[in-house]
Amino acid sequence: MVQAYILIQTEVGKATAVAQSIAGITGVLTAEDVTGPYDVIVRAEADSIDDLGRLVVAQVQQVEGITRTLTCPVVRL
């Protein structure tokens, strides 16, 4: 199982709607509004890094109101 944090920038005033939409996507563990350079932080999981990439590109990035994402895979050292 691969987990990642997805840092999301949204259009002005869209953070809450984006977080609510993303929260309903299969594989998303949490989606929360935050302050700072990013507007929403998501924790997601998938069976493989390829599946995680598909989750981000095919589902998360398609949510209306998102302007940019940064995916940070969790590593276990």
What is the pLDDT at residue 33? 96
Q: Which helix (H) or strand (E) holds 49?
A: helix 49-54
Residue 5 Cα distances to 36, 41, 73, angstroms = 16, 7, 6
Question: Is the separation of the CB atoms in 45 and 23 below 8 Å?
Answer: no
The model carries a pTM of 0.94
Q: What is the pLDDT of residues 17-64, one digit of tens each?
A: 999 999 999 999 999 999 999 999 999 999 999 999 999 999 999 999
